[in-house]
Amino acid sequence: MATDSSTLIGKSVRELRALLTSGSVSAREILQDHIQHIERFDPELGAFNCLTTHLAYEQAEKIDALVKKREPLPALAGVPVAIKDNICVPGYPATCSSKILQNFVPPYSATVIERLGASGAIIIGKTNMDEFAMGSSTENSAFAPTHNPWNVKKVPGGSSGGSTVAVAAGFSTLSLGSDTGGSIRQPASFCGVVGMKPTYGVVSRFGLIAFASSLDQIGPLGREVEDVATCLQVISGHDKRDSTSLPFCLPTQSETLASGVKSMRIGIISELSGQGIDDDVRCSLKQAGETLQSLGAVVDEVSLPNSKHALSVYYLIATAEASANLSRYDGVKFGLRNQEADDILSMYFSSRSDGFGAEVKRRIMLGTYALSSGYYDAYYKKAQQVRRLIKQDFDRAFSQFDLLICPTSPTVAFELGAKTADPLQMYLSDIATIPANLAGIPGISIPCGFSQQRLPIGLQLLGPALADSKLLAAAYAFEKATQFHTVTAPVLTASAKH
């Protein structure tokens, strides 16, 4: 039996499957080790809103039964997976880290949860996030902030901060997040892990609590590209319950991951690689370009002239869609309700005032204003027109290049509280990730260096729509040529010494 809590922590999907297949460990032991690790370290980090312990042990028992019968194991058998708390797991809270949903327990399952279950994965818990996925630091949670495992005084990024920390700290092998403007990739950069936003429509959004429906996308996080690719293979595919789901199947990993970058044309986005980028980040980007070149890629600069408008476009479209999506939270059928209100209008007003945090209120008001009579054409319609121009910039770039690269974030992880008083500075954290969501293309962040403070730096790779496999192949080639992904956060290092 695995008695040392560090024995199975930090293992890859491939390693866990090998141990299970050989009979060296059981799925129950894998789960127990990870729960012990969470209990030891998560009080300081705050990655989880709740653990799904009962479900996890049920799933582990099913895998152990398969092993006992010597039946073939599915792709993620025995692998602990953490789930962002805006994805529905039946029987467990789906709070979006908001007071307005703190008692909401969904009666149905998200499609990705069903697919994870069918793959043998063990759902270990629901992770903390910025409220309704609105934020870049996981400080907007109504419950508590999440801390970066590399330095607990730093933010982990957001909004999928809890899911990212769960992976970086070894609480789970994989996790699911959602990415509306960089909410998987930016925290992956801050915490030194791999995070991918698939092409819009490749992964079903059924069971994802909506923020901005034309931008939201569920995606995987892991410590290695191969693990992320395996998870994406499991959760992707058409779903008739999601009207935006595409009839598209990813090729198998064996067909794609090993293809490398030789003869690929890779463009460095000039507008996202110069002014406003920290020196350490710019240096790591330059070295990453040289590494890709040494692997046989042709690397050159490319311009996306309309990317400078992406932030403004995003904060009109996303807030407008949020205003519409969040109108359902009125205290009538589910969620927080003021029981002392005198009439229905005051009940609506007080329930929403008490239930939503400051950032969510700010975005609802911005979106409502942009959609209001007399302003729709000037703001929302104009933003959609510029969104089209941003997409056309990418189309032109991909007619010359196979993939594009830039920093995932202009900075490394910043201090907790450093940007909470200045929303614009916080919004600028996503300046490099937002364009991909507006264009609906896939993006991935992989570790590519460290700052002088020994904080992780992420490289973002972007590809044309449905080129997810090509993106993974390039990320895998870069990972194999470097050692950045092998350097682990202090929490994992402490566990290994335990």
List, for residues 356-412, the tens digit of each pLDDT value: 999 999 999 999 999 998 899 999 999 999 999 999 999 999 999 999 999 999 999
Contacts with 147 (C-beta within 8 Å, 6 or more apart), sequence order: 44, 45, 46, 153, 154, 155, 156, 165, 416
Q: What is the sign, positive or negative, of the torsion defined by CA atoms of 175, 336, 241, 217?
A: negative
- pLDDT tens sequence across 309-356: 999 999 999 999 999 999 999 988 888 898 888 888 999 999 999 999
Angle in degrees, 0-180, between the axes of helices 13-22 and 27-45, rounded to the nearest 10: 140
Backbone torsions φ then ψ of 444, nearest 5 degrees:
-140, 140
From 452, 358, 410, select the one nearest 182 (Cα to Cα).
410
Residue 447 three-state SS: strand
Question: According to the model, what pLDDT value does residue 460 have?
Answer: 98
Show the domains of the chain with their CATH numbers.
13-306+391-497 (3.90.1300.10)
Q: Which two tokens stand for residue 418?
A: 């450093």
Q: In whole angstroms, what is the distance from residue 192 CA to residue 206 CA? A: 29
From 367, 463, 428, select the one nearest 182 (Cα to Cα).
428
Neighbour order of strands in the sheet with 443-450: 48-51, 122-127, 80-84, 174-178, 218-222, 194-197, 443-450, 456-462, 403-407, 265-269, 298-302
Residue 73 CB-density burial (10 A; 0-12 exposed, 13-18 middle, 19+ buried): middle
Q: How far is CA 297 from each of CA 40, 293, 367, rounded to the nearest angstrom?
A: 44, 5, 43
Q: Are 49 and 143 in contact (CB under 8 A)?
A: yes
Q: In whole angstroms, what is the distance from residue 357 CA to residue 367 CA? A: 16
Ranges of H-type helices in 144-205: 161-168, 185-191
Q: In whole angstroms, what is the distance from residue 463 CA to residue 237 CA? A: 19
Q: Which two tokens stand for residue 406?
A: 């830039």
Angle in degrees, 0-180, between the axes of helices 53-68 and 27-45, rounded to the nearest 10: 150
Tens digit of pLDDT per residue, the chain (498 long)? 344 445 899 999 999 999 999 999 999 999 999 999 999 999 999 999 999 999 999 999 999 999 999 999 999 999 999 999 999 999 999 999 999 999 999 999 999 999 999 999 999 999 999 999 999 999 999 999 999 999 999 999 999 999 999 999 999 999 999 999 999 999 999 999 999 999 999 999 999 999 999 999 999 999 999 999 999 999 999 999 999 999 988 887 767 898 999 999 999 999 998 888 999 999 999 999 999 999 999 999 999 999 999 999 999 999 999 999 999 999 888 888 988 888 889 999 999 999 999 999 999 999 999 999 889 999 999 999 999 999 999 999 999 999 999 999 999 999 999 999 998 899 999 999 999 999 999 999 999 999 999 999 999 999 999 999 999 999 999 999 999 999 999 877 666 555
Q: In whole angstroms, what is the distance from residue 280 CA to residue 403 CA? A: 23
Q: Which two tokens stand for residue 476?
A: 């895998």
Q: Are 366 and 423 in contact (CB under 8 A)?
A: no
Contacts with 40 (C-beta within 8 Å, 6 or more apart), sequence order: 5
Q: How far is CA 79 from each of CA 29, 42, 141, 231, 487, rounded to the nearest angstrom?
A: 11, 19, 27, 10, 21
Q: Which residues are designated catalytic?
A: 84, 159, 183
Q: Are 147 and 416 in contact (CB under 8 A)?
A: yes
Cα maximum dimension of the chain: 70
Q: How far is CA 328 from each of CA 156, 325, 332, rounded to the nearest angstrom?
A: 30, 7, 9
